[in-house]
C-alpha cells in the first residue's frame, strides 16, 4: 500500500529485492517480499504490451498489412520521424525491410550533431526514402529552451519534442497519411519515477 510522503522522509533505507530502486525515490513502496512498485508496474504496464518472438512478429505483420492497405492509391504508406539517432534509424530500416513506402520527416531544432545529419543523409539515400526537413527558428527555440532551463523543469526535451510531433502531424495531415511511426524504446524511455521528474536540485542560470 502506498505510504504518505511525510512518513517516507523519515523511513529507513530500503532497496528493492529485485531491482536497483531504493528509498531515494520518496514515493517508492514495497510488498511483503521487498519487491517495489516499479517492478510491479513493469509487469502490469510494460511487459503486457511488449511483444517479442513469434507473437511480436505476428502483430508486426498484421500492423504492416493494415498500413499498406491504408496506403493503397497514395504516394506513401506512412510517415516516420527521423532524428539520426539509433531508434529512428532502426525504425527506418525496419520499415524498409517490410516494404513500407515511407516519407521521413526530420526536425532541425538547432541541436543536430554532424553525425546525426550524416546518418539521416545515408539512411534516406541507401533506403531510398523521401525526406522533408523542417527547420525551427533558432532564436525562438533558443529563447524557449532558456526559459525551460530557468524554470527548472526536469524534462528539458519538451520544446524540441513538441516541435518534432507538431511537424509529424502537420505533414501527416497535409499529405493525408494516416500512420505516423516513431522509434521509441519501451524499456528505457520515460523510466524515471514521478518524484524525480518534478523538481531539479541545481541552481538555475540567471
Ligand atoms: Zn524493484
Cell digits for 192? 524515471
Q: What is the share, in percent, of the chain residues with pLDDT greater than 70?
A: 91
CA–CA gap between residue 54 and residue 32 (Å, rounded): 35
> Which residue positions in the chain have pLDDT lower than 50?
1, 6-7, 202-206
Distance 38 CA to ligand 1 centre (A): 5
Q: Where do the domains of the chain lie?
A: 5-47, 73-206
Asked if 77 and 71 count as a contact pair (C-beta separation under 8 A), the reply is yes
- What does the pLDDT read at residue 138? 93
Q: What is the pTM of this model?
A: 0.79
- What does the pLDDT read at residue 205? 44
Per-residue pLDDT reduced to its tens digit, 148-158:
999 988 888 88
Distance 138 CA to ligand 1 centre (A): 42
Residue keyed to cell 532524428: 83
CB atoms within 10 A of CB 27: 15
What is the CATH T-level fold of the domain 73-206, as seen in this structure?
Answer: Rossmann fold (3.40.50)
Cα dist. 1→19, 35, 36, 59, 100 in Å?
19, 12, 11, 36, 47
- What does the pLDDT read at residue 204? 43
- What does the pLDDT read at residue 206? 38
Per-residue pLDDT reduced to its tens digit, 126-184:
999 999 999 999 999 999 999 999 998 888 888 988 999 999 999 999 999 999 998 87
- What does the pLDDT read at residue 198? 66
Asked if 192 and 150 count as a contact pair (C-beta separation under 8 A), the reply is no
Distance 21 CA to ligand 1 centre (A): 6
Distance 86 CA to ligand 1 centre (A): 28
Distance 15 CA to ligand 1 centre (A): 8
Distance 42 CA to ligand 1 centre (A): 9
- What does the pLDDT read at residue 110? 87
Amino acid at each position: 500500500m502506498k505510504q504518505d510522503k511525510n512518513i517516507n522522509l523519515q523511513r529507513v533505507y530500503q532497496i528493492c529485492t529485485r531491482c536497483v530502486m531504493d528509498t531515494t525515490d520518496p514515493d517508492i513502496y514495497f510488498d511483503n517480499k521487498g519487491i517495489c512498485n516499479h517492478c510491479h508496474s513493469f509487469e502490469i504496464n510494460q511487459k503486457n504490451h511488449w511483444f517479442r518472438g513469434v507473437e511480436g512478429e505476428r502483430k508486426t505483420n498484421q500492423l504492416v498489412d493494415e498500413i499498406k492497405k491504408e496506403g493503397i492509391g497514395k504516394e506513401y504508406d506512412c510517415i516516420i520521424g527521423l532524428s539520426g539517432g539509433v531508434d529512428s534509424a532502426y525504425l527506418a530500416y525496419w520499415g524498409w525491410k517490410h516494404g513500407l513506402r515511407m516519407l521521413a520527416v526530420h526536425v532541425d531544432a538547432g541541436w543536430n550533431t554532424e553525425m546525426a545529419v550524416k546518418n539521416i543523409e545515408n539512411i534516406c539515400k541507401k533506403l531510398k526514402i523521401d525526406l522533408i526537413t523542417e527547420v525551427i527558428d533558432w532564436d525562438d527555440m533558443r529563447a524557449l529552451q532558456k526559459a525551460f532551463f530557468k524554470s527548472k523543469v526536469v524534462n528539458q526535451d519538451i520544446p524540441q519534442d513538441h516541435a518534432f510531433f507538431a511537424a509529424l502531424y502537420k505533414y501527416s495531415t497535409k499529405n493525408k497519411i494516416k500512420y505516423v511511426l516513431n522509434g521509441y524504446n519501451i524499456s528505457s524511455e520515460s523510466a524515471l519515477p514521478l518524484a524525480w521528474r518534478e523538481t531539479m536540485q541545481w541552481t538555475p542560470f540567471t
